[in-house]
Structure 1
Amino acid sequence: MASKIVYTPSNCIYHDKDNYYMEIELPGIKKENIDVELTENSVCVRGDKDNLAYSGCWSLYHSADTKKASAEFDNGLLKVTLPFKEPIETIKLEVK
C-alpha cells in the first residue's frame, strides 16, 4: 500500500477583539473525513482522501475558549471560530 502525500493546507488566520477566525482550504475532502483538535493555544486540522492528506497545526498567541469554538465546512473551505478566553485590549501605535 502506498503512503499518502501530505500537504499543509492554504489558510488565513485573523482576529478581532473577541475571536480568532481561521479559514482553511481542504479541496476534495468530505466533511466526515476532517479532524479538528483544539487546545487553548493551538489548532490542528487533518483532512484525508484516497492517497492525499492535508495536515496543519497552528499556535495561538492568545488563549482561546475551546468550549465555545465552532467549525463549519462548505465547498472545500473549513471555517473555525475560536472565542478568546479574555478580550484583547489594543492601543494604537504612532508610526513615525
Structure 2
Amino acid sequence: MNIVRRNEAPLSVYRPNPIEDQFGRMVETMLENFFAPLARYSMPPDQEGGIATSPRLNVSETDQGFEVEAELPGLKKEDVKVAIDQRRVTIEGESKQEATQGEGGNVVYSERSYRKYARSFVLPSDVDDNAAQARFEDGVLKLTLPKAESARAKQLTIQ
C-alpha cells in the first residue's frame, strides 16, 4: 500500500496592500509626467494637415475633490469633449475653420489653421463622475471633479 502525503497548507488569500497601490499610482504619475513634454512635440499632424496639441493644465486637489483648468484658445464650448473614467480624465477639442472666400474671388493666402487638442491624465483617486461639472469661458475649460465616496477619508466613531 502506498501512502501519498498531501500538502495541508491552507489556501493563501490575496489581500491588496495599500502601499503597493499607492506605489503603483506614484510610478504611473511619474512616468506620465516624464513623457508628457515629449508627447506635446511628437504628436503628428492630423489628416487635414492641422497640428495636434496638448493643452496646458493646472490641477489642484482639495479634501472634496479636484479643480482642473485647461487652456483651449480659439475653441467654442461645442467643440470641446470631456470624458471621465474613474481616475482618468480625457479632454479633446478641435477648432473648425470654415472655408472663406474673399470679395470677388478665392482666398490667395491664409495663415489660419485647423487645430486639434487632446490630453489625458490620471488623478490620484477616483472621481464621482455623476457630480462632476464643467464650465468653458474665454478659452479656459474649468472642471470641478468631486472625489468618489470610496476615495474620501472617513471618520469613524469609536463606541
- For residues 74 and 88 of structure 1, what CA distance do their matches in structure 2 show? 33
Give aligned pairs, total.
89
* Equivalent in 47, 65, 74 of residue 19 of structure 1: 65
In percent, how many aligned pairs have the same letter?
Answer: 29
- After superposition, give the CA deviation of every residue in 1:35-61 in whole Å (9 maximum; x if it has no partner): 101111111001101310111001111
Alignment match, 1:36: 82
Alignment match, 1:75: 138
- For residues 88 and 23 of structure 1, what CA distance do their matches in structure 2 show? 25
- For residues 59 and 48 of structure 1, what CA distance do their matches in structure 2 show? 22
More strand by share: 1
Q: From the superposition, tell whether residues 88 and 29 of structure 1 become closer, same or farther in structure 2 (CA, over 3 Å).
A: farther
Give unpaired runs (5+ residues) of structure 2.
Answer: 1-46, 97-113, 155-159
- For residues 15 and 88 of structure 1, what CA distance do their matches in structure 2 show? 14
Moved more, 26-35 or 43-52: 43-52
The amino acid of 1:52's aligned partner reads: R
* Equivalent in 112, 122, 125 of residue 59 of structure 1: 122
Moved more, 79-88 or 19-28: 79-88
The amino acid of 1:38's aligned partner reads: I
Q: CA deviation at 1:88?
A: 4.3
Report which structure shows greater RCO (CA 8 Å, sep ≥6).
1
More helix by share: 2
Query: Which contiguous aligned blocks of 4+ residues in structure 1 show a shift greater than 4 angstroms?
Result: none
Q: TM-score, normalised by structure 2?
A: 0.53
